[in-house]
A and B are shown apart, each in its own frame.
Chain A
Amino acid sequence: MKQTMRDLLLMTWFWASGLLILMILLAIIIYLTGRGGTFISSEFILESPRGFPLGTEGGIFPAIKGTLWLILLALVISIVPGLLTAMYLSEYGRSGRLADFINLLVQSMAGVPSIITGLFVYALGVVTLGWGISLLAGGVALAIMVFPVIVVSSRNALQAVDENYRLVANSLGVAKSYTLFRIILPRAAPGILAGILLALGYAAGATAPIMVTAAAIIASSSGALFEPVMALPYHLYILFIEHISLNHAYATALVLVGLVLFLNILALSLNSLQERLNRQ
C-alpha cells in the first residue's frame, strides 16, 4: 500500500524534526551548564580579568558592567522614538499612506544586518564625530538595532487593546491623545514592557555592532560615555579566538545565555499577563 508507506515516512519526518530540535536546545543548555557551570563563582562574576594572557584567571565583572551599560544606553536612546512611532502607527495613522510607508521602513530596518548598523555608526560616530571607540557609539548602534523591535512589539500591544474603549471615548468627544494616555497606554503596558525586555535581550547578545564601535579587549567599563567598554559577547569571542581560556569562555557563554534567557522569561510572563488582561 504505497499511501500507507508514504504516510509513515511523512510522520517520521515530522516527529524526527520536532524531536531533533528539542534535543538540540537541550544539548546546548546541558553542555553549556556542564562545561561552564563549574567555573562560575562569585569571584568570576565580581572580579576583573587577571593572569597572563589576560583572562586566564580572574573574572568578567567589567564585561558584565559593560553589557549592562550598553543595553541601558540603547534603551534610553531608542525608547522615546520607538514608542512614539508605535503610537502613531496604532492610533493616528492606522491605514493611511504615511503609515504604510513607515511600516515598510520599520520592517526593512529589522532586516538590516547588524554589522551594517555598526558600519554606519562607526563612520558617523566613531570617525566623523570623533567619539572614538566608545560606549556612546555602541549604545547608539544598539539603539538603532532594537528600534524596530520596540516599534513592532509596542504597536502590536497597543493595537490589541479593546477597540470598544476607543469607540466609547470618541463618542464622548474627547481627543485621541487623552484616550491614548489615560486608557490605551496603561492597558497595553505589560505588552510594551515585554517588548522592551526582549529588545534588551537582543541588544545584550549582539556582537557585530559593538565589535566595531565600542568593545575593547580590556577596559574598566566605568560608564564613561567616550571610553571603550568590555562586553560579554565580545569577551566570549576574544577568549575563544585568542585561545585564552576555553573554560572561561564556556562560563562567559553561560552567563550571557543566562542573562538573555532571564530577560526572555520575564518578557514571556508579562506577555501572558497582557493576554489575560485583554481577555477580560
Chain B
Amino acid sequence: MINPGIELKENIIRYTIIGAATISSLLLLAMLLFILRESWPIWSQIGISAFLSGSSWKPLNSPPQIGILSMIVSTLWVAGGALLIATPLGFGCAIFLAEFAPSSLAAVLRPVVNMLTGIPSVVFGFLGAAILVRFFEVKFDLSSGESLFAASIILAIMVIPFIVANSEAALRSVASEYRHAGIALGVSRQYLTMRILVPLARKGMLGALVLAFGRAMGETMAVLMLAGNTLRLPGSWFDKGEPLPALIALELGSSIPGSLHYQALFAAGLVLVLMVIAVNLCVNLLLKRIQKEV
C-alpha cells in the first residue's frame, strides 16, 4: 500500500491552514496600524496632551479646536454609570441562577438571559428613546429626556446578560467540595455563598465586569439615541454628552477625507480602542495578582 503524494498533500494543507490563521489574525494589527497612520498628523501637530485634554471640539473653525476631553469624559461616565447599575443586578441574578433558583425557573431564566444578548443594540436604543426618554420628559417636566443617565440605564440592560452568563459560569466552576464543607458546618446557603463561593469565583466575576465595561465603552447606537449628543463637557450624570463612538458615527460621513477633521476622528477612534485595551490589560494584571494569592 503506497500513496505517492500523500505527504505533499498533507504539507500543502498544513501550511495553508497555518498561513491563513496567521494572516487573518494579523488583521487586528493591520487595523490598528492603519488607524494610527490616518491619525498621525493629529499626534504630530497637535500633540497627545492637547488632544486629550482639550474640551472644545470645533474642527471646522479656523483655527480649528480639536480636543476630545468631553467625549472621553462622556464615554467613561456613561460606561461607569452602566456598570454601577448593572453590577448588583448582574451578580445578584448570577448568584440566583447558580445557587438558589428552582430548576424550573432557572430553565426559563437562562434562555431568557441568552436571548437578551441577541437583541440588537439599535433596538435597545430605540426602546430606550421611545419609552424611557419620554418617561423622563413627562415625569420630570423636561424638554428633552436624553442624558448620560438614560444611556447608562439602557447600557446596563445590555451588559447585564454578559455579566450574568460569565459570573454564573465562574460560580458553577467552584468545586463542590466547598459547598459540602460549608453545609456540613451548618451555615446558611447565603452565608456560604457570600463568604466562600463568591470569593473563590471572584476572578471570573471580575473578568465579567471588565468585559461589560469594555462593551459599554464601545457601544454606539444606544448612546447615539439616548445620550443627547452635545459637545459640551458634561457636569453631572444627568447632563447630556457625546461618547466617542457617537462622535465618530455622527461626523465620519460628513468629514472630508484627508482633512484635519477626518484625521481627528481617527485619532478619537484610536483613543477609544486604546481605552478598551487598557481596561482589559489592567484587569488581566489584577486577575494575575489574585491568582497568585490563591
Contacts and interface: CB of A to CB of B under 8 A. Distances in A.
Report if A and B touch in the complex (beta carbons < 8 A): yes
Which among B35, B118, B214 has the greatest number of chain A C-beta atoms within 10 A? B118
Given A17-B96, A22-B109, A89-B21, A113 B219 contact: yes
Nearest to A206: B120
B197 interface: no
Nearest to B38: A123
A16 interface: yes
Which among B16, B20, B26 has the greatest number of chain A C-beta atoms within 10 A? B20
A64 interface: no
Contacts of A257: 119-120, 123
A52 interface: no
Interface residues of B, number: 88
Nearest to B12: A177
B214 A88 contact: no
Interface in B150-200: 157, 160, 164, 188, 190-191, 193-194
Contacts of A112: 28, 31, 218, 273, 276
B92 A17 contact: yes
A104 B112 CA distance: 30
A14 B115 contact: no
Interface in A249-273: 249-250, 253, 256-257, 260-261, 264, 268
A212 B253 contact: yes
A104 B35 CA distance: 20
Interface in A77-99: 80-82, 84-85, 87-89, 91-93, 98
B265 A88 contact: no
B212 to A, nearest CB: 11
Interface in A111-153: 111-120, 122-124, 127, 144, 147, 151
B167 to A, nearest CB: 11
Contacts of B126: 236-237, 240, 249, 253
Contacts of A234: 122
A21 B113 contact: yes
A49 to B, nearest CB: 17
A20 interface: yes
Contacts of A253: 123, 126-127
A116 B121 contact: no
Given A14-B95, A20-B89, A119-B266, A113 B273 contact: yes
A176 B191 CA distance: 51
Which among B24, B99, B220, B272 has the greatest number of chain A C-beta atoms within 10 A? B24
A119 B252 contact: yes
B249 A208 contact: yes
B130 A113 contact: no
B29 A92 contact: no
Contacts of A175: 6-7, 10
Nearest to B127: A28
A31 interface: yes
Looking at chain A's contact residues, the main secondary structure is helix
A18 B105 contact: yes
Contacts of A82: 24
B89 A21 contact: yes
B294 interface: no
Contacts, number: 246
A200 to B, nearest CB: 11
B189 to A, nearest CB: 8
Nearest to A105: B25
Given A84-B21, A85-B20, A105 B26 contact: yes
A192 to B, nearest CB: 15
Contacts of B28: 105, 108-109, 112
B220 A115 contact: yes
Interface stretch (A4-12, A53-61, A183-191): A4-12
Contact of B14 (A7, A21, A177, A260): A177
18 contacts: A6-B190, A13-B92, A15-B96, A25-B112, A81-B23, A85-B25, A88-B18, A109-B27, A111-B215, A111-B280, A116-B218, A119-B248, A123-B266, A202-B118, A205-B118, A234-B122, A237-B125, A249-B130
Interface of B: 6-7, 9-10, 13-14, 16-18, 20-29, 31, 34-35, 38, 88-93, 95-97, 99-101, 105, 108-109, 111-116, 118-123, 125-127, 129-131, 157, 160, 164, 188, 190-191, 193-194, 211, 214-215, 217-221, 224-225, 245, 248-249, 252-253, 257, 265-266, 269, 272-273, 276-277, 280
Given A115-B249, A205-B119, A257-B123, 12 more contacts: A14-B93, A18-B101, A20-B89, A92-B17, A111-B211, A113-B220, A116-B248, A176-B14, A212-B248, A237-B224, A249-B130, A261-B115
Interchain residue pairs A-B with the least CB separation, the first 4: A205-B120, A113-B218, A17-B92, A88-B21
